[in-house]
Amino acid sequence: MAKIIGLTGGIGSGKSTILKYFESQGIPIYIADTEAKKIMESELVIGNIIDAFGKDTIENGKVNRSKLSSLVFNNPEKLKKLNSIIHPEVKNHFTNWVKKHEDFPIVIKEAAILFESGSYKDCDKIILVTAPKEIRIQRVINRDGISKEEVEARMKNQWTDEQKIPLSDFIIENIDLAEAQNTADKIISTLKNQ
């Protein structure tokens, strides 16, 4: 049975870069956000979203993500409602995915809100990718072409590294990519030998 390793990090920490490195080392990866987007197109989920948020959130039979995002972005209650629709479906999908990869020693589940959603409890170990706040802000500005204020608003919806560190088993500080990959190699070695 594969060990389930959770991988998370705040916006701009470079967790996607680290995840790609793990994948290049032959480790199966599951990207929760990508799978959640696919699951949002299922009839069951679309029906639940209409019930919870109204028909205005659906366009041409698909979820209008920007409309839904604007409804939930600064509304914790509505965000909680949306998560209660999506997260159980993602959890079921992930359970089935793990069964298909049980011959591997480890699999990695990447989720931006691994702690916030509570899904970290389903992982055997947790890897947290960190970087200084100013570096993270600059990365997101460069990547998404948004303002510093918009980046900071997104950051407020995620736990801080200080909240995540005590719940994490491994930390990868992602400032220098070569150093971060070296740390990742050590973690892979430790995980495979446990």
Residue of 131, 187, 184, 138 whose CA lies nearest to 160: 131
pLDDT, position 111: 92
Q: What is the pLDDT of residues 134-189, one digit of tens each?
A: 999 999 999 999 999 999 988 988 899 999 999 999 999 999 999 999 999 999 99
Residue found under tokens 């990718």: 129
The 10s digit of each residue's pLDDT in 8-43 is 999 999 999 999 999 999 999 999 989 998 999 999
- Burial class of 32 by CB neighbour count within 10 A (0 to 12, 13 to 18, 19+): buried
Show the domains of the chain with their CATH numbers: 1-28+105-194 (3.40.50.300), 33-100 (3.40.50.300)
pTM of the model: 0.86
